[in-house]
Amino acid sequence: MTRHELPQGMVRAPSLTGPNDGYMPGFGNDFETEALPGALPQGMNSPQKCAYGLYGEQLSGTAFTAPSHQNERTWCYRIRPSVKHSGRYAKLDLPYWKSAPCIDPDVISLGQYRWDPVPHGDQPLSWLTGMRTMTTAGDVNTQVGMATHIYLVTQSMVDEYFYSADSEMLIVPQEGRLRFCTELGVIDLEPKEIAIIPRGLVYRVEVLDGPCRGFVCENYGQKFELPGRGPIGANCMANRRDFKTPVAAFEDRETPSTLTIKWCGQFHSCEIGHSPLDVVAWHGNYAPVKYDLRTYCPVGAILFDHPDPSIFTVLTAPSGVPGTANIDFVLFRERWMVAENTFRPPWYHKNIMSELMGNIYGQYDAKPQGFVPGGMSLHNMMLPHGPDNKAFEGASNADLQPEKLDNTMSFMFETRFPQHLTPFAANEAPLQDDYIDCWDSLEKKFDGTPGVK
């Protein structure tokens, strides 16, 4: 028997299970993958000469000395080192893609805001030209805070590549299918899925099925991670195995191309003579990932009351203050409502955190009308919000049988920092001027007499 043969009668599993073709399961795993056999050095990172004449290069996603449980880096074995993908930079103007701080003295951010879906225009737009910043928070130069964008994409990037040195990008599609061809592999993305593209990773975005619209959270701070589950234990909410990282894929294309870099809130481009997507093999734990939101297992109230919405956190990006996120990504999806003698929708609320919500599909339970798929709302720091009158009356008088909330998927980007509206969000996007009126018809029920009203 050779060392590769199993004992007689023993059956070995295939190396991948389920619908994992092209992806490797796990969140923050130490992956290894090679598009050509033997391209990945074994047992070391920097051989004197790499196989196939490749160059070894490390991509450090955290400081060298970051704590071990947070330390992220990936070793790439590529046709050319990344420094060959750079050159003389020329400033590029992308007027709709803003970075924090973006505080316009003529724009008021103090308020409750809601927008209809930003419509597609007539002009073809790419991932870069189609990005529309709605809010910014914090400061891109000190690497705290975030920005929220809507993307409107109808055109593939051709011989055009991009990376953000400022941020990792959390992408939440609402309409259409996109393909992210990255240095570390290919992610196909559609509504009900999300993806994270790490800071510094080069990619181009192609339209598989357009027009495409969705939401982006640009995280300037510490990377997204899975929230601690506390007493919930080892399972439910987002499970690590449901995150998928692409296997290595490269192209050896010598074509005049453009690389655009977002750096400290500015955009610069340079001309290169080839595709930078030339990583043949890689290993490490700093990599793009996608996740199917339908695998999120919600946990909630099973007798009375309901927990804070943090119970629905998919991913959290910590700040320096324990438990106070730079960003939480929170999902409100289909679930059963069973609590007895309880006002079941979200309660009325004032929050030190700033809450930006988006609707992926269906109807949100606290707002039966007006908050439509593709639409967004913003309830900024310490500004009150809650169910509108129709939701309040409906929930207050409902026969509290077990009820399935079906056909609903909304999310929240919640940050510890106030979110400032961009001029686009205030003046060009379809802001609902009458949003504040949705609470007008809430009645005074108190008349000084005891008893339930």
DSSP 372: -
Q: Least Å distance between CB 349 and Fe ion? A: 4
DSSP 389: H
Of residues 263 and 347, the one with the C-beta less far from Fe ion: 347
Nearest to 379 by CA among 358, 365, 363, 394: 358
Which class for 396: exposed (0-12), middle (13-18), buried (19 or more C-beta within 10 A)?
A: middle
Which class for 201: exposed (0-12), middle (13-18), buried (19 or more C-beta within 10 A)?
A: buried
Q: Least Å distance between CB 445 and Fe ion? A: 22
Q: Least Å distance between CB 348 and Fe ion? A: 9
DSSP letters spanning 160-213: EEEEESS-EEEEEEEEEEEEEEETTEEEEE-TTEEEEEPTT--EEEEEEEEEEE
| Residue 306 annotated as catalytic | yes
Of residues 244 and 335, the one with the C-beta less far from Fe ion: 335
Work out whether 306 is an interface residue with Fe ion (CB under 5 A): no
Of 4, 69, 306, 379, the catalytic one is: 306
Of residues 206 and 328, the one with the C-beta less far from Fe ion: 328
Confirm whether residue 355 is marked as ligand binding. yes
Rounded to whole angstroms, the Cα distance separating 216 from 167 reads 11
Count of positions on this chain that bind Fe ion (CB under 5 A): 3
Confirm whether residue 274 is marked as ligand binding. no
Two tokens, residue 347:
């309660």
| Alpha carbon separation from 95 to 124, 202, 343, 393, 426 (Å, rounded) | 16, 21, 45, 44, 15
Nearest to 326 by CA among 419, 192, 239: 419
Of residues 199 and 344, the one with the C-beta less far from Fe ion: 344
Rounded to whole angstroms, the Cα distance separating 356 from 425 reads 13
Question: What character string, x for contact with Fe ion (CB under 5 A) and - otherwise, covers 341-370?
Answer: --------x-x---x---------------
Confirm whether residue 349 is marked as ligand binding. yes
Rounded to whole angstroms, the Cα distance separating 187 from 205 reads 10
Of residues 351 and 432, the one with the C-beta less far from Fe ion: 351
Q: For residue 272, what are the contacts with CB-CB under 8 A and spacing of at least 6?
A: 84, 85, 86, 87, 256, 257, 258, 259
Q: Least Å distance between CB 355 and Fe ion? A: 5
Question: What character string, x for contact with Fe ion (CB under 5 A) and - otherwise, covers 245-274?
Answer: ------------------------------
Cα angle vertex 56, ends 55, 58, to 5°?
A: 140
Q: Least Å distance between CB 385 and Fe ion? A: 6
Q: Residue with the closest Cβ to Fe ion?
A: 349
Rounded to whole angstroms, the Cα distance separating 100 from 219 reads 11
Rounded to whole angstroms, the Cα distance separating 182 from 219 reads 18
Coil/strand/helix, residue 364: strand
Confirm whether residue 364 is marked as ligand binding. yes
Of residues 166 and 355, the one with the C-beta less far from Fe ion: 355
Q: Least Å distance between CB 383 and Fe ion? A: 10
Question: Cα 181 to the chain's mean position, in Å?
Answer: 17
Of residues 278 and 355, the one with the C-beta less far from Fe ion: 355
Q: Least Å distance between CB 305 and Fe ion? A: 16
DSSP 21: T
Annotated binding-site residue numbers for Fe cation: 349, 355, 385
- Which residues here bind Fe ion, judged by CB under 5 A? 349, 351, 355
> Which residues belong to the annotated binding site for homogentisate?
364, 385
List active site positions: 306
